[in-house]
Amino acid sequence: MTDAQMPLTVCFQDDALVVVDKPCGMLVHRSGIDAHETTFLLQTLRDQLNQSLFPVHRLDKPTSGLVIFALSSDVARTLSQAFEHGDITKTYEAFVRGHTPQSLYIVHALRDEVDSKGRKIKNGTAREAMTELRTLTSWTVPEPVDRYPEARYSQVQLQPLTGRYRQLRRHAKHISHPILGDVRYGKGTHNRFIEERLGIRRLWLHARQVTFRHPLTDEALSISSAIPADFRQMTAWLESVSSG
């Protein structure tokens, strides 16, 4: 059975909303960027739950992790407004190239790359963008990669303080610590090195936690997903080969 055929993991569900753990490589819904795709999180979860769903935000196709769906248009509107106002906190984990600072605020404006329908545009408007980075662990792998005698990697926690298109991936590139496995903004030599050692090809970015107030009850919710199996495999490999 393929990943696409496996039941999706629901991390929270009540009469107002559902939070699901999206596999990497799956689109949330139809997009002009990937017009050839036929499998979508929205439809798959709708079929699994046999219930109407209303999307309130997106997650990049190669990114795994938590996605919130509303079960009514009214709740969808409330949650969408909460996202727009920055009232929903999303926390991601990622593996990146290099040894990152212990903590860092990334403040760097990003130009729009797509329009509201997901169509690519050129010379889009530059918009303020902020991301908070915290380093969890760093490793040095004593093997030559690219022109360096050793490879350095870090596992980081990323929290977007604004919601720009591909913000985390673009901010990671901006500070010269691109997310591993990122074929657009990353470094091909390191992506290939990791893929060859682990036999896994993916963007190493996972939406781990969402925190917000329930749109109907105002209860504070903090919902987390499990650490993906391939993330655990990456950590185990880095621990086994690291020179400290």
The tokens for 74 are 């009214």
Cα 167 versus chain centre, distance: 10
Q: Which one, of 95, 89, 22, lies nearest residue 60 by Cα?
A: 22
Contact (CB, 8 A) for 81 and 222: no
- Among the options 47, 60, 115, 218, which is catalytic? 60
In 17-63, beta strands by DSSP E: 17-22, 54-55
Q: Is-catalytic flag, 115? A: no
Amino acid at the residue 131 = T
Per DSSP, what are the bridge partners of residue 221?
Answer: 212
- Whole-number Å distance between alpha carbons of 221 and 111: 32
Q: Which residues are known catalytic residues?
A: 60
